[in-house]
Amino acid sequence: MTRIGIHDLELATSHHVLDLGKLAEAQDIDPAKYRVGIGQDEMSILAPDEDIVTMGAAAAQPLLERHGQQEIRTLLFATESGVDQSKAAGLWVHQLLGLPAHVRVVEFKQACYSGTAALQAAIGMISRSPAERVLVIASDEARYELGSAGEPTQGAGAVAMLVSADPALVEIEPVSGVHTVDVDDFWRPNDSSTAVVDGALSIRAYLESVTGAWDDLAGRGSPDPATIERVVYHQPFTKMAVKAQRALSSRSGAQLPARGLQDASVYNRRLGNTYTASLYASLASLLDADPELAGSRIGMFSYGSGSVSELLTGIVQPGYWDADRAARVRKALDARVPLEVEEYRRLHARVLPSAVDVDNPRVTDGPFRFAGISGRARHYEATGG
Ligand code: COA
């Protein structure tokens, strides 16, 4: 059988960052609630000329530079924070990256789960045509109302993955466990720029999904739990992974070390929630933190409120270690420009109506920018940066 999986991946984030200590101070809350209680230190905040398209294109560009675009015939763009009801955000990425007309583009939606649906679709396509490669982009801005319990769990980021046969990073194994149930724990109505969340319900629904997905995987011939060395999780906040690992270990009997959890949340603690990208940011965090993972079996738990979840397993490939990738992510995180709370609140309030033409101010240092809206259509450009 053809071995298929993640051949390469790259992470991109926003121009700005807000330190959660500053937010806690402005809210008169003990900063330990954020840093320890929910396990978050910072959140990435988009500049006015950034969005899911600019982050997604910025994440994908280095993959094309490293591997070329010849075998790519499909671009799958997964997002919860779509910018249009009809047009796939990936179409602007297609144009910004100069992809040819024979590359099909489509957008996937199911809250934070859809990056995994896109990865599975990519694997299906490659199993039929093993010479093809699929570009999967998961890109999101997590937004909640100011003053709501969800506010400290906002964030922004994108992960682009090149999916192929004979992958260099992680081979995805064929059997997975799925758990789907209709629940109103988190959603974003069409007329709202912020998500609605019942935090306590979302934690319960997530934990039931971890064990439900494990039960499905076990029933379909899961690998021996003793052979799973690490598990990476979707992380709306990093403490959620701690709760999930406890539930998964007790249900499956897998002995999962705490070190894996710490390694797999380094980026997530600094990005905040990145919805569809969160699980894959956690995967990048794990791969970049530990040079001893070659040959290890890892679990990957994807949860999208509403809810669909899936537990995958994968084998880390021999040449996965790349100190340069870790250095690039650290540089991008360190380069973010800190905001004061008042500036962050002003940016949060800036929601563009599509009926008004707007030229966005030039702020981002990233390679692409959201230039503005004219005639109700969004426009993007390369910055040359
Ligand atoms: N020091 C250390 N820990 C503290 C603390 C302090 N001063 N104050 C509170 N805490 C801990 C609490 O004990 C709790 O820990 P626990 O969950 O391990 O028991 C944690 O901090 C959160 O406190 P809580 O009172 O539950 O916070 P909250 O009502 O503000 O809600 C969330 C927290 C995470 C539920 C909320 O931020 C949220 O809804 N986020 C969005 C969730 C989401 O995205 N779900 C959808 C996708 S899965």
**CA 337–ligand 1 middle distance (angstroms):** 27
Asked whether 305 lines ligand 1 (CB < 6 A), one says yes
Q: What is the pLDDT of residue 222?
A: 86
Quick check: is 67 catalytic? no
Q: Whose CA is nearest to atom 35 of ligand 1?
A: 199
Q: Where in the chain is the domain with CATH 3.40.47.10?
A: 4-168+323-382, 171-316
Closest CA to 10 of 119, 159, 168: 159
Q: Please state, as a whole number, how many other Cβ atoms lie within 10 Å of the Cβ of residue 295.
A: 11
Give me the mean pLDDT over the 211-236 stretch: 96
Q: What is the pLDDT of residue 385?
A: 77
Name the packing angle between helices 89-96 and 52-67 (round to 10°). Answer: 40
High-pLDDT (> 70) share of the chain, %: 100
d(CA 144, CA 128): 41
In the structure, what pLDDT confidence band is assigned to residue 257 with cuts at 50, 70 and 90? Answer: confident
DSSP 35: I
**Please, what is the average pLDDT of the chain?**
97
Phi, psi of 156 (to 5 degrees): -160, 140
Q: What is the pLDDT of residues 154-199, one digit of tens each?
A: 999 999 999 999 999 999 999 999 999 999 999 999 999 999 999 9
Question: Which ligand 1 atom is nearest residue 112's CA?
Answer: 47
Asked whether 35 lines ligand 1 (CB < 6 A), one says no
**CA 263–ligand 1 middle distance (angstroms):** 21
Quick check: is 208 catalytic? no
Give me the mean pLDDT over the 12-39 stretch: 98
The amino acid that residue 26 corresponds to is A
Quick check: is 112 catalytic? yes
**CA 24–ligand 1 middle distance (angstroms):** 13
Testing ligand 1's pocket by substitution, the residue of 23, 38, 154, 186 carrying the most ligand atoms inside 8 A of its CB is: 38
The amino acid that residue 233 corresponds to is Y
Greater model confidence, 259 or 263: 263
Characterize the bridge pairing of strands 133-142 and 228-233: unpaired
Q: What is the CA radius of gyration of the chain?
A: 19
Query: Which residues are paired to 139 by β-bridges?
Result: 158
CATH superfamily of 171-316: Thiolase/Chalcone synthase (3.40.47.10)
**CA 202–ligand 1 middle distance (angstroms):** 11
Residue 45 near residue 75 (C-beta atoms within 8 A): no
Asked whether 194 lines ligand 1 (CB < 6 A), one says no
Asked whether 202 lines ligand 1 (CB < 6 A), one says yes
Whole-structure pTM value: 0.98
Q: Please state, as a whole number, how many other Cβ atoms lie within 10 Å of the Cβ of residue 350.
A: 10
Give me the mean pLDDT over the 116-132 stretch: 98
CATH 3.40.47.10 fits 4-168+323-382, yes or no: yes
d(CA 201, CA 48): 33
